[in-house]
């Protein structure tokens, strides 16, 4: 059974590697740091793969590890790098970038991490609310509240930005 879970894990990583990378990159805005986060996340996952009982939970479980590893990385380095055009062009060459709107990216990066996380997981990684709840370790009600609050903050920030641009 243990070998099977490791096989499922390897399949999952292989199949969704671009998604996991994109998630890590959305936090750190650096190719090298995102790759380090993925490597650290895989190492953490392999040491605790025995805790997974259901192969269908592997993807959500690994998303959770990537999110926590990304946040830990930011805390350790006490920095958030603003995405510049060079990074965007470089990233676009590696994987398909689903973050089309530059203004949205800027506003997303300005959100507190707990709100950014639910937005990225829901709308860019297409996770269900239940999966997001699992990833962030909160109940469904809290997850929904965070998502709605994050959307509200994004709308307010984008509206303010538009008003400032028209003055």
pTM: 0.73
121: which DSSP letter? I
| Residue carrying structure tokens 């973050």 | 99
Closest to 55 in 3D by CA, of 105, 121, 109, 11? 11
For the chain, percent of residues with pLDDT exceeding 70 = 81
What would the pLDDT profile of 75-107 be if each residue is shown by its tens digit?
888 654 444 444 444 444 444 444 456 667 788
Q: CB 146: neighbour CB atoms within 10 A? A: 21
The confidence score (pLDDT) of residue 90 equals: 45
Q: CB 37: neighbour CB atoms within 10 A? A: 28
The confidence score (pLDDT) of residue 94 equals: 45
Domains and CATH numbers, the chain: 1-97 (1.10.1740.10), 99-167 (1.10.10.10)
Least confident stretch, 7-21, 68-82, 150-164: 68-82
Q: Residue 90 and residue 31: Cα distance in Å, rounded?
A: 9
Q: Residue 105 and residue 123: Cα distance in Å, rounded?
A: 13
Band of residue 2 on the pLDDT scale cut at 50, 70, 90: low
Rounded to an integer, the average pLDDT of 125-133 is 91
| Residue carrying structure tokens 């879970």 | 5
Q: Residue 71 and residue 111: Cα distance in Å, rounded?
A: 14
As separate numbers, helices (DSSP H) first and strands (DSSP E) second, the chain gives: 8, 0
């Amino acid at each position: 059974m243990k070998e099977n879970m490791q096989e499922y894990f390897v399949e999952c990583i292989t199949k969704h590697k671009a998604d996991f990378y994109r998630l890590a990159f959305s936090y750190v805005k650096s190719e090298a740091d995102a790759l380090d986060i993925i490597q650290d996340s895989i190492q953490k996952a392999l040491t605790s793969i025995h805790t997974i009982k259901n192969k269908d939970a592997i993807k959500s479980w690994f998303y959770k590890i990537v999110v926590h590893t990304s946040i830990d990385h930011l805390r350790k380095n006490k920095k958030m790098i603003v995405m510049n055009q060079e990074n965007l062009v470089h990233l676009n060459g590696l994987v398909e970038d689903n973050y089309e709107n530059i203004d949205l990216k800027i506003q997303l990066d300005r959100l507190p991490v707990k709100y950014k996380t639910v937005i990225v997981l829901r709308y860019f990684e297409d996770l269900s609310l239940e999966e997001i709840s699992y990833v962030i370790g909160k109940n469904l009600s809290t997850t929904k509240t965070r998502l709605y609050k994050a959307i509200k903050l994004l709308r307010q920030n984008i509206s303010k930005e538009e008003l400032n641009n028209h003055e």
